[in-house]
Structure 1
């Protein structure tokens, strides 16, 4: 085991310890409840960045720091703050729709979770994912060109066909909707954290699949 593997695993275990140990668990719940935006930033900026590092580790076979890692972490933190409002927004909207008879599933936690996940991933998720592609392209180009990067350059540097055909059409129905159905079965204070862990999981899955495809080529 490499030193980087040990450090990465240790950080993940630390998060698990925080959730399991009663004293730190209570602090986590209190902070998440009273400071949702701050905690959303902290959770996503750390865990999602860990996910990016793991994906690179799996794909390249070694630990490499991506370009603009600090900016990437800040952007992930911003997304965590967005999730802190979007998750209850969609959950509350689905509950209101069920109560109004616009959706079936009264008294069904599973249907509530499914509808919330489906509506969020079919409407909000593509916008979020597309914006994230733009920020990633902007960071990558800034690192390569060391000059002012325009929005047009960033947009032209993105494989939009691949984004739609794979990320939107495949990962949303096959991964994100089922995964976030589980997310919305959890108590609200764990949902943004679950989203962060799912980012790690999907990054690892895609990196492993990509590496296997290259090895079999």
Structure 2
């Protein structure tokens, strides 16, 4: 057990207590409802970055700050804004499709949750994850001192075989679709809490998938 383990754990515990304690839970829910994009930025910027750092701790056995940590956190925050919007778009779209009979299971909370999760993870998620892999790789190249980086250079550096075989083929059907199905079966106010902590797992899985592809 290292000092960094305690620090990481204390930060996570503090976030969890702020979300779960009755007094601050109300503040969290009200702020999320009133400022969804700002709260999405904060949640994903903090928790997904923590997940990425934990992945480094697991893979190398020590706490190491990834190059461009602030930039990575900002990108996670931006992705949190996009995910906040996508949750609403896919939920509304599936609701409409169920009501009009385009999808089976009208009136079923499980059908709603399963279709939202499946459609979102099979369409939006691969694009979102590929974008994150691109930005992550670009930051790595910048901090390696590479000059005049072009998009084609970044794409050529990405291990798409590992990305497809691990991130898409394994994590999407085995983790993300079931996890988000559970998320969308919860009342809307609790989906926010679940999404915040799933972003922690997202950081871990994407970072581990990236490093696993380098072995």
The TM-score with structure 1 as length reference comes to 0.90
Flag structure 1 segments of 5+ consecutive residues without an equivalent. Answer: none
Q: Map 1:173-192 onto structure 2 (within 5 A).
A: 173-192=173-192
CA contact (8 A) 2:48 2:201 kept: no
- Deviations, residues 23-55 of structure 1 (Å, cap 9, x unaligned): 100000000000000000000000000000100
Cα distance, 1:189 vs structure 2? 3.5
2-structure distance, mates of 1:149, 1:25: 44
Q: Map 1:19-58 onto structure 2 (within 5 A).
A: 19-58=19-58
- 1:59 maps to which residue? 59
CA contact (8 A) 1:80 1:192 kept: no
- 2:120 maps to which residue? 120
Cα distance, 1:191 vs structure 2? 3.0
- Deviations, residues 90-120 of structure 1 (Å, cap 9, x unaligned): 0010011100011111221111100000000
Cα distance, 1:84 vs structure 2? 1.1
- 2:156 maps to which residue? 156
CA contact (8 A) 2:48 2:202 kept: no
Cα distance, 1:177 vs structure 2? 0.5
- 1:94 maps to which residue? 94
Cα distance, 1:193 vs structure 2? 4.2
1-structure distance, mates of 2:95, 2:42: 28
CA contact (8 A) 2:49 2:203 kept: no
CA contact (8 A) 1:138 1:154 kept: yes
2-structure distance, mates of 1:33, 1:111: 25
2-structure distance, mates of 1:100, 1:88: 18
Number of residue pairs aligned between Structure 1 and Structure 2: 211
Flag structure 2 segments of 5+ consecutive residues without an equivalent. Answer: none
CA contact (8 A) 1:58 1:204 kept: no
CA contact (8 A) 2:51 2:201 kept: yes
* Cα distance change of structure 1 residues 49 and 203 upon mapping to structure 2, 3 Å threshold: closer
- 2:134 maps to which residue? 134
CA contact (8 A) 1:43 1:77 kept: yes
* Cα distance change of structure 1 residues 45 and 204 upon mapping to structure 2, 3 Å threshold: closer
2-structure distance, mates of 1:79, 1:203: 12
* Cα distance change of structure 1 residues 114 and 172 upon mapping to structure 2, 3 Å threshold: same
RMSD: 2.0
